[in-house]
Chain A
Amino acid sequence: MGIGTTTLLLLLALAPLGLLAFRLGRGKAIAKMAAGISMHSRPQQYGWYSVVWMGVPALGVALAAAILSLFGVISPARELVLIVSVAVAAIGLAHGLRAIRPEVRARNVLDNTVRFLLMGAALISIMTTIAIVLSIVFEAMRFFREVSVWEFVTGTVWAPGDTFLEAAGRGDEVEEGTSFFGSVPLFAGTFMVTAIAMATALPIGLLSAIFMSEYATRTQRGIAKPVLEILAGIPTVVYGFFAAITVTPIVVDIAGFFGLDASYSNILSPGIVMGIMIIPFISSLSDDVINSIPQSLREGAYALGTTHSETIKQVILPAALPGVISAFLLGVSRALGETMIVVMAAGVRPNLTWNPLEDMTTVTVNIVYALTGDQAFDSPKTLAAFALGLVLFIVTLMLNLVSTYLVRRFKQKYD
């Protein structure tokens, strides 16, 4: 808040100065031109030139103050920062105006300023990544100071404490004052739900993609593709509701029909619904890949007398394999990080099992529950969310890197 308000006030203070700088700079250039002096740049470029001289040093001062106070070196008073910045702005403006001479290349200065400004914007994405890594690692380290990494990675009991289970109505299952942070059951649940999702999404998505790119006519494709993409535009909270209200009872009924006992927070129905969510993802990526395979490969195969499906299975799919695998991996990364569906439809009970009809819980469910309680922010129960988030981030990052690598290699092959 503090820094935000200061920035806002500073911008408000500098805006009229900037307008003044532009008018004065342009005015001076116009005056010189009227006097018959040939200037290097256009008048408004001299206007912007003065704005740059006014604004850049002032913002630099403010930025320096912000960085200093952020790292706790010194925190100057807001008023002081404001006054110094505006003073610097005024000095800069005076200097900029005085500097307007025919040989000054205002246009080039302007271009370079814009370039640095744009580069700064582009660096924000890097800063976001650094911020993600730093903030999550920092909080996770606070967690690992109290819980050993070994226990977190290999422990099979996840019981972060009574409050959490009481919220789920099972306070009696945990002894007073004990906390266990073995994340294996959470990752088991996450991988189970991911496996179910991919088992749903891959065949439907890939086969639909094959139909759209190989068999469908132009019109059919023109209809099918956007209709499938509707699935991609549905918010995950809606999928969660669909899973919990509609799919779970169906799954329980069907399991009951076969004499199986399914829990009402089984992991199968969120898995299936998550798979539905991923279908358009797999289908549109696979469709792109299949379309990018050169026609000559198909024609070569036809010339050898293969049928259409044989061509697809023996020529096109092997050629498209790296792309399909990369789509698959991106789908996996999506499923691992998907939150709302599992929060709404899966259970909160850590359970190490192979049976998808039982409750299981996932990493993201536990991140949400750890951070929606009323605990203090420095308890291991809350910090556990960051440890889980860290692992999730690392795993999905790996998957993304592998899949980008595959796509790049694949592209080189046919270009």
Chain B
Amino acid sequence: MQRRLTGSANDPRIRSRYRTESRFKAYTITALFVAFAIILAFFADIITQGYSAFWRSEIQVTLDYNERAERIGRFAIQEELREVVSRGAVRSIPLEIRNNPELAGSTREVWVPVYSRVDQYLKGNEELDPELAPIVDRLAEEDRIRNVFNWAFFTSGDSKLPEMAGIFSAAVGSILVLFVTLVFAFPIGVMSAIYLEEFAPDNKLTQLIEVNINNLAAVPSIIFGLLGLAVFINTFGVPRSSALVGGLTLGLMTLPIIIISTRAALRAVPDPIRLGAFAMGCSRWQVVRDHVLPLSLPGILTGTIIGLAQAMGETAPLIIVGMIAYIPDAPTSIFDSATVLPAQVFTWASEPRKAFVEKTGAGIMVLLAILLTLNATAVFLRRRFERRW
């Protein structure tokens, strides 16, 4: 729009119309910037809440493998420091002594994780008991406390002790669930899409299936949880909380997404390719198998990745089928009780203790990193293999 203020443009009515024009444009820009600001605030918030969980404080103690420590690990540490170290870190000492009898009576200098409240105090998040704070301060001055990268966060499962809790078992659970979802939903989804796009006659049944798929895509996810509970658990007896029931439930939820995006990918293959193949004497199935499917595969994969990413972030239906159990050890099969990353985040978020807030934030950062990677892969695939016919 050009705005040359000559002649009638000086007319107050026209000038007021131009003012309305720029005001309206400003509104639209503001709306977009509000949305951007929210995204920024959101990421800043999650990162400030969670980044500190990637580090943890460790304290240098002298482990004394005395007789009392053979029964209760805490006695291996000098009395003053017993409240400072993590209970989880010394729990295994009796077992250690039992396995290596030569340890008994010896002493050793080691770094062990500190009690979660001490950790929070050192990170400046929380106050500490007045008796404990001076001890911690002194230790810090003596350089007997160090801050290290918290590898355990990635290698250990959930724990009731915040300083010991990690995301490993939830990550394994997520992988198992996604595996079941993929194995179940991908073939059925692609097959349905091929039928609807390439084989189906245009009749009432086809229309019914089509309307139905669109509706399924918009059914609230929690309803799929109710379905999974009633059908898979109560009717078919699939074990509650297992990756199998979670994966099947999410599979039914992901199915419409895969069908819809696969159909779009199939539709993008131009008809002359089909007609050419038919002209060479291919049967319909040969046309689909040898020509249409290979050409639309990148599109199908893109849709599948997006569907899986959505399933990976989903929590509500999984809660209904029992996947918020406390799972410290990684599941070893799809029949074991399992939890998934978002459910782990949910469990931590409902913990009252402050130390779990940073765990929640860190769990979310990992989850978001995975989801963004998945989505970016989908975008990359689409860009890389996009073909103009």
Please state if A107 and B39 are interface contacts (CB–CB under 8 Å). Answer: no
Please measure, in the bound complex, the distance between the C-alpha atom of A63 and the C-alpha atom of B368, giving whole angstroms. 42
Across-interface contacts of B320 in A (CB, < 8 A):
367-368, 371
Q: Is the CB–CB distance between B31 and A339 below 8 Å?
A: no
Interface residues of A, CB < 8 Å — how many?
A: 92
Pick the contact of A235: B21, B234, B315, B357 (CB < 8 A): B315
For the complex, is A128 an interface residue (Cβ under 8 Å from B)? yes
Does the CB pair B316–A340 fall under 8 Å? yes
A386 at the interface (CB under 8 A from B): yes
Question: Is A323 positioned at the interface, with any CB of B under 8 Å from its CB?
Answer: no
| A132 vs B223: C-alpha distance when bound (angstroms) | 8
| B36 at the A interface (CB under 8 A) | yes
Question: Smallest CB-CB separation from B30: which chain A residue?
Answer: A207
Task: Decide yes or no whether B276 CB sits under 8 A from chain A.
Answer: no
Q: State which of B118-126, B144-152, B224-232 sits at the interface with chain A.
A: B224-232
Q: Which residue of A lies closest to B196 (CB)?
A: A122
- The residue of chain A having its C-beta at the shortest distance from the C-beta of B319 within the complex is A368
In the assembled complex, A166 has its CB within 8 A of some CB on chain B: no
Are A307 and B222 interface neighbours, CB within 8 A? no
In the complex, which residues 376-398 of chain A have their Cβ closer than 8 Å to any Cβ of chain B?
377, 385-386, 389, 392-393, 396-397
Please determine whether A111 and B285 come into contact, CB atoms closer than 8 angstroms. Answer: yes
- List residues of chain B with CB within 8 A of the CB of A97: none
Is A372 an interface residue, CB under 8 A from the partner?
A: yes
Given contacts A246-B45, A368-B316, A392-B223, contact A401 B215 (CB under 8 A): yes
Interface residues of A in 65-86 (CB under 8 A from B): 70
The contact string, 1 if C-beta is below 8 Å from chain B, for chain A 337-349, is: 1111001100000
Residues of B within 8 A of A333 (CB): 218, 220
User: Which chain A residue shows the least CB distance to B1?
Assistant: A308
Contacts of B45 in A (CB 8 A): 242, 245-246
Collect the chain B residues with CB atoms within 8 Å of residue A203's CB. Answer: 31
Task: Kindly state whether residue A210 has any CB partner on chain B within 8 Å.
Answer: yes
B28 in contact with A235 (CB, 8 Å): no
Residues A238 and B31 in contact in the complex (CB < 8 Å), given A122-B195, A344-B346: no
CA distance A245 to B208 in the complex (A): 44
> In the complex, which residues of chain B have a beta carbon less than 8 angstroms from the beta carbon of A397?
215, 219
- CB within 8 Å of A: which B349-369 residues: 349-350, 357, 360-361, 364, 367-368
Contact A404 to B191, CB < 8 A, known contacts A125-B255, A308-B1: no
Contacting pair B209 A126 (CB below 8 A): yes
Does A276 lie at the interface of the complex (its beta carbon under 8 Å from any beta carbon of B)?
yes
Could you show 27 A-B contacts with beta carbons less than 8 Å apart? Answer: A70-B235, A118-B191, A119-B195, A122-B192, A124-B188, A132-B219, A135-B235, A207-B31, A208-B32, A214-B28, A228-B32, A237-B345, A241-B349, A241-B360, A242-B42, A308-B25, A334-B218, A334-B220, A337-B219, A339-B315, A368-B320, A371-B320, A386-B230, A389-B222, A393-B223, A396-B218, A396-B219
Residues on the A chain within 8 Å of B312, using CB: 235
Closest CB of chain A to B356's CB: distance in Å? 11
When chains A and B are docked, how far (Å) is the Cα of A111 from the Cα of B281?
A: 13
Counting CB contacts under 8 A, is B213 at the interface?
A: yes
B216 interfacial contact with A, CB 8 Å? yes
For the A-B complex with A207-B28, A233-B309, A245-B357 known, give 9 more contacts whose Cβ atoms are closer than 8 Å: A132-B219, A208-B35, A210-B28, A238-B342, A245-B360, A340-B315, A340-B316, A372-B324, A396-B219
Does B110 make an interface contact (CB < 8 A)?
no
Contact across chains for B220 and A235 when beta carbons are under 8 A apart: no
- Max count, chain B CB within 10 A of own CB: residue among A124, A392, A393: A124
Partner of B345, one of A135, A227, A241, A309: A241
Q: Tell me, in angstroms, the Cα distance from A166 to B2 when the chains sit together.
A: 67
Q: Select from chain A the residue with minimum beta-carbon distance to B25.
A: A215
Residue in B39, B46, B191, B226 whose CB lies within 8 Å of A136: B226
Please report the C-alpha to C-alpha distance between residue A224 and residue B371 in the assembled complex, in whole angstroms: 19
Do A367 and B209 have beta carbons less than 8 Å apart? no
Which residues in chain A, 110-135, are within 8 Å of chain B measured between CB atoms?
A: 110-111, 114-115, 117-119, 121-126, 128-129, 131-132, 135
Within A28-74, which residues are at the interface with B (CB < 8 Å)? 70
Q: Measured between alpha carbons, how far is A367 from B324 in the docked complex, in Å?
A: 15
Chain A residues lying within 8 Å of B235, measured Cβ to Cβ, are 70, 135
B389 within 8 A of A: no
Q: Which 9 A-B pairs give the minimum distances between C-beta atoms?
A: A337-B220, A235-B313, A207-B31, A135-B230, A121-B191, A118-B195, A211-B28, A339-B316, A309-B24
Q: A211-B28, A397-B215, A404-B211 are in contact. Are A122 and B316 (CB under 8 A)?
A: no
- On chain A, the residues within 8 Å of B283 by CB distance are 107-108, 110-111
CA distance A236 to B314 in the complex (A): 7
Scan residues 217-249 of chain A and give those whose CB is less than 8 A from a CB of chain B. Answer: 224, 226-228, 230-231, 233-238, 240-242, 244-246
A207 touches B27 (CB 8 A): yes
CA distance in complex: A196, B218 (Å) = 20
Of A1-9, A151-159, A177-185, the segment with at least 4 beta carbons within 8 Å of chain B is: A1-9
B346 touches A2 (CB 8 A): no
User: Given contacts A117-B191, A233-B371, A307-B1, is CB(A128)–CB(B216) below 8 Å?
Assistant: yes
| A198: interface (CB < 8 Å) | no
The prevalent SS among residues of A at the interface is helix
CB-CB under 8 A from B212, the residues of chain A are 125-126, 129
Q: Are B371's CB and A125's CB within 8 A?
A: no
CA A236 to CA B349, docked complex, whole Å: 13
Measured in the bound complex, the distance between the Cα atoms of B221 and A389 in whole Å is 11
- Given A132-B227, A309-B25, answer yes or no on A4-B236 (Cβ-Cβ < 8 Å): yes
- Chain B positions within 8 Å of A392 at CB level: 220, 222-223
A212 adjacent to chain B (CB < 8 Å): yes
Does residue B20 face the partner (Cβ distance < 8 Å to A)? yes
Structural contact, B371 and A235, CB atoms closer than 8 A: yes
For the complex, is A99 an interface residue (Cβ under 8 Å from B)?
Answer: no
Residue among B32, B36, B224 with max Cβ neighbours from chain A (10 Å)? B32
Chain B, 15-49, CB within 8 A of any chain A CB: 17-18, 20-21, 23-25, 27-32, 34-36, 38-39, 42, 45-46, 49
Shortest CB distance B6–A (Å): 15
B198: min CB distance to chain A, Å: 8
A204 at the A/B interface (Cβ < 8 Å)?
A: yes
Give the residues in chain B near A215, CB-CB below 8 Å. 25, 28-29
Decide yes or no whether A279 CB sits under 8 A from chain B.
yes
A129–B222 CA distance with the chains assembled, in angstroms: 14
